[in-house]
Chain A
């Protein structure tokens, strides 16, 4: 049993990303065409140069045909990928392995989701026939259970917990306000956050990710070919994935203050990339902040903070845009929005921009200039106790 990884064997040479908004005027096809065309242009390649496609969408389409039809691909292999909210990341993982295997030279990954055609609030899973005994809570409610559990375990009182969550929400809105592609582009005050209507538990509207339509795309080749396409390729250092077995739902020792799938995924990802001290080595992280308490716990599962101390690091500003380890400099799910199949690639898009020095000045992070070299993206799907986890580490230099 081993996870060898494909460190420095594959590169991302072009990316595209649509704005993530409630896009009443564009359908899934439009979003995919826009993201794909941006990516072709970014890598300086044409449609015919791409050997194979991976298409990530959670539930906006089935099979590879919707992408092939939208882009009018001629006799190309298109693989549709779904793995909950980590769908976009998983699509890139599969594409990267196909390139690393030598099966293809140049491939494209497109992640897309058309969420806002349902007429419902939030995200809604496609119903699968069942015996009617499965819980039917919203994701907000499932993740809200972290708040009392974390506070109880680490002796953080309710007011302080609220301040920590508010800091996370305000930070991500501050970052999103500086991102032209983000769904919510306004800074939100602590007072606004704390007075917002409650959705589940103590979580208000501003503790929850935006729900948006959008698409993002990436073009991937072998590392040795990368400079054929760009002077500034981004190399894949690690791709790790864990599908949880739902143990947290049945195991009384699970205490809702950690996501074991993510902790295990992080250990694997850091081993693949040769990271020994994430807190000091990672320059930035795009993490799956579906809800503010999720981001809090992720800081510990990703080894940025010791257990029980992330709340203090959050309040100290460690993860702010000008902090030592900026988290979600693009605004995160919180203010960038969460079109499920696209989100994992959107995270990589921000890493791609920051590592290449192409992020707008007002949200350029300083940790890269300070000598840190790695960007991390973390994408999860599911709920506390039962989730999938994806982590990538990316860098602008070969080791």
Chain B
């Protein structure tokens, strides 16, 4: 039996109320909200967060971890170098596990999921995207940001078995964007809708046949499409028992992440023995069928989509525009940070990407960053690795820096004491100045601190644990 062993979905903390858009700029907008990646997030960092959740769902006593990582996004942080390697490093996967980018399009990212399900081996599939667009555009309003990850493999731990699927490939102009631009263009909505509905129905019929299913046996259907209108037009023609929420009212259409987020949403609602259909409209149509096993009960990730939908906080449209680089905001009159050193970053990779400190094997003292020498200076190289990314901590003291350089001032900063030992003064993110207090609880999150000379400076920040 091959299928999904665990999954994780990540929605960024900030929400843009679409009604703010037309109020500000006189056009665009709509009802509901969309998710917004923070100024310090990109598709790589969101992919890390989703993958961390997914990996938490595997049982290390029976599963040795993925033997390949495949990362799909339509908005890669880098060109001409692999983005999946940063995810690989943040997850501390063994060097012998390859990491590949699949992209840069929704269809190709979906292919990562399909190939994961239909081939062999233990795969970690990470799908992540940010939907960009000009101010007042449909993409800006209807798009969303997020990521999803799936551990795929064989055996009794499978929570949703892959039953089969089908693909119809179409070369036609739906959406397109030149590399480096923020605006995708669309040829004609109606042309896209007609083309996708046709391709989707054909792929669906092929996939039903491949999986040996009748349309009425599909309990939960998820349809990922460039627009909610295309998705609902197609979903209504496929005859499933229930169509799961496409999340467009709350999250938005999240591009390459959308197939993953909708599949995760279906898995979170599914009971044992239910058949799930996933349809993706992207340069043709992709259809996959899965059936949940008894192991689905209790398999939901520690942080569900429903939890994250309930936990977001509003973001003002002006701040959204500055985060997206659509308006330049006067920075503090301080020097911008220098580019991080490639060689220094390579030497400290376990710390910088993996957030691994060192622990003194004699007295247990934890060092962040790692130290070779003991706290009292008496011993050298008597340390073991101390992974801290999944350790939570408590705020010892804090401040708000209104003068320091930040892509989005002010900086909220705290001295964090980690449970079980270790202290680090570190920037907090997704945390407002008036929320921070001594005693507050903090978890770690992988972020992009800044970009200098085209180099994305990835490291970890703290994030307030709420509720």
Contact = CB atoms under 8 A, between A and B. Distances in A.
A141 B425 CA distance: 11
B348 A133 contact: yes
Interface in A244-277: 245, 247, 249-252, 254-256
Interface in B5-47: none
A136 B397 contact: no
B186 interface: no
Interface string A223-239: 00000000000000000
Contact of A255 (B338, B369, B396, B421): B396
Contact of B352 (A118, A132, A149): A132
Nearest to A199: B403
Nearest to A124: B335
B422 A250 contact: yes
B438 to A, nearest CB: 6
Contacts of B401: 137-138, 140-141, 144, 200-201
Interface string B414-446: 010100011111110000000000100000000
Interface in B125-151: none
A140 B335 CA distance: 16
Contacts of A149: 396-397, 438
A132 B459 contact: yes
B367 interface: yes
B301 interface: no
Contacts of A146: 397
Contacts of B340: 130-132
Interface in A122-147: 122, 124, 127, 129-133, 135-138, 140-142, 144-146
Interface in A90-142: 118-122, 124, 127, 129-133, 135-138, 140-142
Interface residues of B, number: 49
B424 A250 contact: yes
Contacts of A256: 396-397, 415
B333 interface: yes
Q: Which of A120, A129, A131, A148 has the most CB of B within 10 A?
A: A131
A198 interface: yes
Interface residues of A, number: 39
B350 to A, nearest CB: 11
A129 B345 CA distance: 10
A145 B337 contact: no
A120 B335 contact: yes
A145 to B, nearest CB: 4
A198 B344 CA distance: 35
A148 B397 contact: yes
Given A120-B333, A120-B334, A133-B351, A141 B459 contact: no
A26 interface: no
A200 B400 contact: yes
A152 to B, nearest CB: 6
Contacts of A135: 413, 425-427
Contacts of B402: 198-200
A385 B425 contact: yes
A138 B334 contact: yes
Nearest to A144: B399
Contacts of B403: 121-122, 138, 140-141, 199-200
15 contacts: A121-B332, A121-B334, A122-B334, A124-B335, A129-B341, A132-B459, A138-B334, A145-B413, A148-B398, A152-B438, A200-B399, A200-B401, A201-B399, A249-B423, A255-B396
